Amino acid sequence: MADRLVECVPNFSEGRNKKVIDQITAEITSVAQVTLLSVEMGADVNRTVVTFIGPPEAVQEAAFRAIKKAAELIDMRQHKGAHPRMGATDVCPFVPVSGITMEEVVQLSREVARRVGEELGIPVYLYEESATHPERKSLANIRAGEYEGLPKKLQDPRWKPDFGPAEFNPRSGATVIGAREFLIAYNITLNTREKQYATDIAFEIREKGRSVRRGNTQPFYFKGELVKYRENHFPCGNCSFVGKTLEETAQHCQKVHQYDLFELLRMHGTDPRNAIGRSVKKPGKFKHVRAIGWYVEEYGRAQISINLTNYKISPPHRVLEEVRRLAAERGLVVTGSEIVGLVPFQAIYNAGKYYLQRQGKSTGVPVTDIIETAVYSMGLSDVSPFDPREKILGLPTTPDNALVAMRVNDFTHEVSRETPAPGGGSIAALAGALGAALGSMVSNLAIGKPGYEAVEQDLIQLAEQAQELKDKLLKAVDEDTQAFNAYMEARRLPQNTPQEKAAREKAIQEGLKQAVNVPYTTAQFSLEALKLCHEAARKGNVNSISDAGVGAQMAYSGVLGGVFNVWINLPPIKDQEFVSQMKKRCDEMEKKARHLLEETLQYVWNKIRE
């Protein structure tokens, strides 16, 4: 079962005084098991985004301590900045990462909100999944009017806080707390100082959309006259259709443009029953996208500041490409983009694959190449350095002390020493990985070449599968040695009492099974790599068919090496059913591999000797 992990991303209304932020983050790191992932200060927006992760209870305590310290150190009466805000801790979202449900995180967020309201006397509103009212689900709705509008807002019974007093706290303002899915804070930078131009594009892409204007609307759509609903005249925001009633127009919008006109009006704070006199709204291009425009003095450029609340539906690279198109329409250029805080691995990985596909390149390449393509294509280092190791959550990494992190000659020397590990199991995994790598190479060398058009998609799929197998087998290089070391540790356990002897024997048996399962998995993966090399030999670049043969031979060595290491560790295992099943499976696997190798090598020899 995965570790129970929750991420917390509080935003503090201070981006210029590092000493203040250091004191706040010190409160976070004072809680055991909490890991501080990033601290991003913005001087112009006067705001800092902090990201930390840990077990639920630890994150809950760290968040409260941070909010308490922010209330002590930040005075909202002195705060000025470009970013909308309403409190010292402006917003504090909790995000489920692994081993925990959204419902559990909602309960966690409400407990923190209760403590903040009761113990600190700060008005707290719940938002997103934690919201208690539909209109409070949106952060923008809650934050409307910002800090300056709080005194009046708190007097309105409809905006009574979920926790804490319905009284204005001039020093700390109010705080918004809730549970949500992973949000990507994403800014796109333009080659202009004009905030209005960035706002214009922001209105086009955001889910909420914009008001429709007529007249001089090209290329900037904020210059024309507002189009308003009037009696018997309800225009569609997307085409020339005009209904005699709002219901008639709503039916048209749903049928032709697939959007809910009434919901759009509500998003803009308009009651559909009283729409006459209100401006016509045009829906935005992306769902789950919020966006505003601002000018950043530090960069000397305007930015479109975007929150992607569901990157799986509206991924950053798709939004970026649409912004590039809209900017070009307006005579503007996107100079780059930036990730504020962290970004999930899958979002950047998918972006890299997207740009490789647009270039007509294979996506069956190492993960590092795909990530590098995304960083360059999206201009993620335009305004500040983008370090994938620091910015990407879940980025596959190799520990510095791993065997596969060693130089080839150092690893070879290590194998040659008198220590039993790394040994044949690790070498088998490495052989299988090299076989998979060659299968990928032979496939990639044919992609984009004349004569291979009919099988190009097959080859791309082959290359992608080979990359996955390569990475799994590289991990197995270290896992085999770790399994052997765990078995040896079990043998060194004390055996002075009957209880100690029983515990030692149980640990030894478990260690032996692990020492069998790891090379068995190596053999399985290597057999898959052998199959890929067999197919690559038949479909891949004919000038590299010898490489496919070498890959097949290496993959077979991975199969045979894995099987050898299974057999040698079976005799001491007392679970005879396990032993019998493992022997049978290994025999069948080795026979399949040998037959496939012979067939592949024969095909390679025939081609080479033609």
Q: How far is CA 305 from the centre of its chain?
A: 19
Q: Minimal CA–CA distance to 255: which of 236, 269, 270?
A: 236
Residue type, 562: G
Query: Long-range contacts made by residues 353-356, C-beta under 8 angstroms, separation at least 24?
Result: 354/317, 354/318, 355/317
Residue (of 294, 290, 278, 385) closest to 336 by Cα position = 385
Q: Record the tokens describing residue 460, joined without a space.
A: 């791309």
| Closest CA relative to residue 49, chosen from 20, 91, 103, 7 | 91
Q: How confident is the model at residue 219 (pLDDT cuts 50, 70, 90)?
A: confident
The answer, yes or no, to whether residue 597 has pLDDT greater than 70, is: yes
Give percent above pLDDT 90 in the chain: 84
- 3-state class of 503 per DSSP? helix
Output the pLDDT for position 105: 96
Is there a contact between 465 and 395 (Cβ–Cβ < 8 Å)? no
* CATH 1.20.120.680 in the chain, residue ranges: 403-608
* Mean pLDDT along residues 261-267: 91
Helices 56-73, 102-120: inter-axial angle, 10-degree rounding: 30
Write down the residue that tokens 């979920």 correspond to.
162
Structurally, at CATH architecture level, domain 5-181 sits in 2-Layer Sandwich (3.30)
Kindly state the tokens that stand for 94.
């909790």
CATH 3.30.70.670: which residues of the chain? 289-393
Whole-model pTM over 0.85 = no
CA-to-CA distance for 530 and 536, rounded, in angstroms? 10
Residue 341: predicted pLDDT: 83
Burial of residue 8 (CB within 10 Å: 0-12, 13-18, 19+) is buried
* Angstrom distance (rounded) from CA 551 to CA 572: 34
Which of 189-193, 351-355, 512-516, 587-591 has the weakest average pLDDT? 512-516
User: Is 1 a residue whose pLDDT tops 60?
Assistant: no
pLDDT greater than 70 at residue 554: yes
pLDDT at 170 (0 to 100): 95
The span from the CA of 349 to the CA of 468, in Å, is 13
Judged against a pLDDT cut of 50, whether residue 101 lies above it is answered with yes
How many CB atoms within 10 Å of residue 130?
A: 26
Q: d(Cα 381, Cα 337) in Å, to the nearest integer?
A: 7
The model's pLDDT over 321-377, given as tens digits with 9 standing for 90+, comes to: 999 999 999 999 999 999 988 898 999 999 999 999 999 999 999 999 999 999 999
- Strands (E) across 146-254 are located at 175-179, 184-190, 210-211, 213-214, 225-226, 234-235, 242-243
pLDDT digits (tens, 9 = 90+) for 362-398: 999 999 999 999 999 999 999 999 999 989 988 888 8
In angstroms, the CA 238 to CA 257 distance is: 8
pLDDT level of residue 421 (50, 70, 90 thresholds): confident
Q: Residue 411: pLDDT above 70?
A: yes
Average pLDDT score over residue span 18-28: 97
Please compute the mean of the pLDDT values over residues 177-187 and round it to a whole number.
93
Please write the tens of the pLDDT for every residue from 469-495.
Answer: 999 999 999 998 888 888 888 899 999
Q: What is the pLDDT of residue 217?
A: 65
- Which residue in 226, 232, 299 sits closest to 43, CA to CA? 299
Provide the annotated active-site residues. Answer: 83, 480
Write down the pLDDT at residue 2. Answer: 46
Looking at the domain covering 403-608, what would its CATH class be?
mainly alpha
* Cα 465–chain centre separation: 21
Task: Give the confidence band of 216 by pLDDT, cuts at 50, 70, 90.
Answer: low
Strands (E), 117-247: 124-128, 175-179, 184-190, 210-211, 213-214, 225-226, 234-235, 242-243
- Residue 558 exposed, middle or buried by CB count within 10 Å (0-12, 13-18, 19+): buried
Domain 289-393 sits in CATH 1.20.1530.20: no
What pLDDT does 462 receive? 97
* The three-state (H, E, C) secondary structure of 350-377, written as one string: HHHHHHHHHCCCCCCCCHHHHHHHHHHH
Enumerate the CATH 3.30.990.10 domain ranges in the chain, comma separated.
5-181
